[in-house]
Amino acid sequence: MKKRIISLLCGAVGLVAGIFFGKWIGGFIGEIFSGDGYEVLPEERYVYFADSEEELGSEAALDGFDLAFYESRYKSFNTRTYYHMLNTAEQRIYRILEYALDEGKDYILGDARLLLGCRKSVVEITFLFSTDSPLVEQNLAVFVQKGVTVPYAAGEFFRVEIPRFGEEFLEKKEEAIEKARKIAAEAPAGSDMEAALYFYQYLTDNVAYLSYEGDERAEAHFLHDVFFQNRAHCDGFANGYSLLCALRGIPAFEKQFTPPEGADEIGHAWNTVMLDGDWYNVDCALSADTAKAEMENDILFRFAFSDELQTEIPDHAEELPPCEKDYLTPAFRLPSADDPAFYGEIDKAFRETERHYIFFSLEEDDVTKEHLQEIANRQRSGLRVLSATRRGRVYYYLLKTK
């Protein structure tokens, strides 16, 4: 009798413990699949992928659990800086995009309920994915259609087409990765700063800036062009630099400046990279474009510089890590080239540097031919000058040419 009572008591305790534990597990899983007040994601919410619109539904779909735990095979290249700006529902859409990229599928058909809780559109999420991943071009054509119904599944769907996610583009990306591995292996074995500088100089020395036009832009493989065609526009440079840094284990991601609608200016992409515990901006595209046109390539025109020296203010600037240091700091700052200390500061800067150029800042853009001739006479050298106006100051690079 005692054994039976003890057995019943143990069973009751076990039942209570099972109910409690089950609720805990259920709550844990619910936490994974819910957030921000929208409903729990059941397993049957699925997504189809295909190489063409006609093939959608011909392959097995990903379900809710697949989406929750999916990890990209290219995750080591992605710092997920922008991913962490998204809510839980938006992050699921982000992972759908990762899967499509990984598998070379440029058509996506997703259960419409997956969009519940998304504050950002699929296009906006795709754009953020492109700034996180060096394998995704920022100039993507993304086509989204909502309210889609299909004969092989119940309910409504949303359909996405991203032509640059196709198999052809994936093969080109894989080729670029292999080329980048070889370049990364040749970088100095010292500090991250040395490796980052090596990657910067490799790209600015070997890749020319190209502004794609018309059909050439539509057919371009931006990342592949950097490493095999030795040409690219700013997206290609930014993707290539992020990839090289990732292969070395250096955290790096891309920044994007989107001009206001109707503004008479174009967008731009560059990088942010963590070196020796600090974040810096790096702009290989502008360096390559400017240095090849006006100066030798070894000038550190846009390597490891602070936000203070950045012309464009990037999208999501308030959520990005600040860049507060400069690898190459101005030798001096003065109000004007007519300041009595100007020539003395120029002479001192050239004496104290091992480089063949100096970098300084003035509040006015007033360095004249007469100023340059006087400096050339004092230095017994020919001179070339490059200037850029940033945040109300003018920054000059003064280069000895003989």
* Topology (CATH level 3) of domain 172-328: C8orf32 fold (3.10.620)
- Check residue 382 and give its pLDDT: 87
Cα separations in angstroms, 239 against 84, 107, 217, 234, 335: 20, 23, 16, 9, 38
How far apart, in whole angstroms, are the C-alpha atoms of residue 378 and residue 382? 10
- Give tens-digit pLDDT for 270-309: 999 999 999 999 998 876 665 554 555 556 778 888 998 8
Residue 156 has φ and ψ, to the nearest 5°, of: -100, 155
Q: Which CATH superfamily is domain 330-402 in?
A: Vaccinia Virus protein VP39 (3.40.50.150)
- Check residue 198 and give its pLDDT: 94
Indicate the domain borders of the chain: 1-33, 47-165, 172-328, 330-402
Helix axis angle for 234-248 and 167-185, nearest 10°, is 60
Pick from 117, 67, 112, 76: which is nearest to 94 by CA?
67
What single letter denotes the amino acid at residue 99? Y
How far apart, in whole angstroms, are the C-alpha atoms of residue 180 and residue 50? 29
- Where does the pLDDT of residue 21 fall: very low under 50, low under 70, confident under 90, or very high at 90 and above? very low
Enclosing H/E stretch for 69? helix 64-69
The conformational region for residue 107 under phi > 0 = left, psi -120 to 50 = alpha, else beta, is: beta
pTM for the model stands at: 0.81
- Give tens-digit pLDDT for 37-67: 444 555 577 899 999 988 998 888 888 788 8
How far apart, in whole angstroms, are the C-alpha atoms of residue 55 and residue 61? 12
The conformational region for residue 383 under phi > 0 = left, psi -120 to 50 = alpha, else beta, is: beta
Examine the pLDDT at 27 and tell me if it is beyond 50: no
How far apart, in whole angstroms, are the C-alpha atoms of residue 338 and residue 377? 17
The conformational region for residue 361 under phi > 0 = left, psi -120 to 50 = alpha, else beta, is: beta
- Give tens-digit pLDDT for 195-223: 999 999 899 888 888 777 665 665 678 89
Average predicted confidence (pLDDT) for the chain: 84
Enclosing H/E stretch for 254? strand 252-257
When mean pLDDT is compared over 133-142, 238-247, 318-327, 375-384, the highest value belongs to: 238-247
